[in-house]
Amino acid sequence: MKTIDSIPTSKIQRASKLVSTGAKIGVNYLKYYGDKITKTEVEAKTRLNENNAEDIYDGLKTLKGSALKVAQMLSMEKNILPEAYVDKFSLSQFSVPPLSPALVTKTFKKYFGKDPNDIYDKFDTVSVNAASIGQVHRAEKEGKKLAVKIQYPGVAESIASDLSLVKPIAIKMFNIRGKDSDKYFKEVENKLEEETNYILEVQQSQAIVEACKHIPNLSFPNYYPELSSDRIITMDWMNGVHLSQFSTENQEVRNQLGQALWDFYMFQIHNLKKVHADPHPGNFMISPENELIVIDFGCMKTIPNEFYVPYFELANAENLKDPVFFEKKLYELEILRQDDTEEELVFFRAIFHELLSLFTQPFNKDVFDFSDEEFFGKISDLGAKYAKSTEIKSMNGNRGSKHFIYINRTFFGLYNLMHELKAKNVKINNYLSY
């Protein structure tokens, strides 16, 4: 794979890259209008989506950092984005162009103050895995095989400027109105800032490993604070394959891995009230012993009690049948607003009742089959329905607690991973036994 010798770090450089990407998209639309003359609408639109997805991704992978992280988050929205975007943006999970060996050494010296060969007995300057915020290298010290994660230069410093470029687009896309709309952007900015703080990540990693190590069929690397800094993390090298590359015909193994993944998340959410909020395939591996390996704790979301209680009260099917209770909880979760029109109240009550009635089905069963194509087909259809709704686009999108951003992302990602594993007979409340 081609390596990168430099990354745009200033606001002007990064904005210029986005402008040039926008120009390419403009050309793609001209091609689209030409294609409509000689091709069917479906063929023309498919080519447009493929060209746009490729040009946007090519621009973002050069910028790296929060810009590429947004693509990674969007790649999990399989029910909203066209397939071409999902396929291309999914590469940001664990396969993007890495820094060149020369830039790796330069970056290492900047962040650690030493050449990597002065710290490790062996260090491979060629990356084995590159993602949105950093890349991973093999190393050895005192006979121990290690993985060293190095953050891309300028990533932490460019978060605010990247989001300021994205904000106007998001406001228009989701029709976010109202003086308190900044809370959503601040939530994302704070989480991205946490993800670039590798000292915090090491602390979070050690805390979660200690709290969850008793859960069966889970495996975690050890972390080495003395070989880490605010932009570099050293941990054990873990043997295995990424979850998205894992394949087995053994249903018992699939069930075992699915139960481990589900228990890991339910234990965090209900017992720790703090959860790994970045559940994409690049953060999970399967070991040769068929254990689930969790390798990245940069994005952790604390769940405040005032959100946790009403959120899970609405996961109870009986509560959804009580219209007075249901509406009360929608107000507590800021889904309904005091300044809503009667039209908006009726519309959003109906939407969220439909969404919750479907999405919370696993929580109302003792055992659930995450390989159920009918269940996931309904989720896909519902997502497509609201993505195309002109009515929802006309309503004020400034609604819902800021905590929904990462909690919903966690559950959508978790459901996708469970479905990818085709796990059956998953005991929903098994975490209570730990």
Give the model confidence (pLDDT) of 188-232 as tens digits: 888 889 999 999 999 999 999 999 999 999 999 999 999 999 999
Residue type, 256: Q
pLDDT at 16 exceeding the cut of 60? yes
**pLDDT-based confidence at 116, cuts 50/70/90?**
very high
**pLDDT-based confidence at 42, cuts 50/70/90?**
confident
CA-based torsion, 389, 393, 394, 395: positive or negative: positive
- Higher pLDDT, residue 335 or 91: 335
Q: Judge whether 206 and 236 are in contact, CB under 8 Å.
A: no
Q: What is the pTM of this model?
A: 0.83
Q: What integer is the mean pLDDT of 369-384?
A: 92
Nearest residue to 65 (alpha-carbon basis) of 89, 86, 92: 92
* Structural domain boundaries in the chain: 11-93, 304-402
When the pLDDT of each residue in the chain is averaged and rounded to a whole number, the result is 85
Q: For residue range 130-183, list pLDDT tens digits in order.
A: 777 888 999 999 999 999 999 988 888 778 777 776 666 566 555 555 566 788
pLDDT at 348 exceeding the cut of 90? yes
Residue type, 218: L
pLDDT score of 132: 76
Separation between Cα atoms, residue 265 and residue 272, nearest integer Å: 10
Separation between Cα atoms, residue 145 and residue 194, nearest integer Å: 27
Q: Judge whether 71 and 132 are in contact, CB under 8 Å.
A: yes
pLDDT at 64 exceeding the cut of 70? no
CB atoms within 10 A of CB 143: 6
Q: For residue range 101-110, list pLDDT tens digits in order.
A: 888 999 889 8
Q: What integer is the mean pLDDT of 395-412?
A: 87
Q: What integer is the mean pLDDT of 235-250?
A: 94
Q: What integer is the mean pLDDT of 383-412?
A: 83
Greatest extent of the chain over all pairs of C-alpha atoms, in Å: 68
pLDDT score of 113: 87
Q: What integer is the mean pLDDT of 418-432?
A: 97
pLDDT at 274 exceeding the cut of 90? yes
pLDDT at 304 exceeding the cut of 60? yes
Separation between Cα atoms, residue 225 and residue 378, nearest integer Å: 46
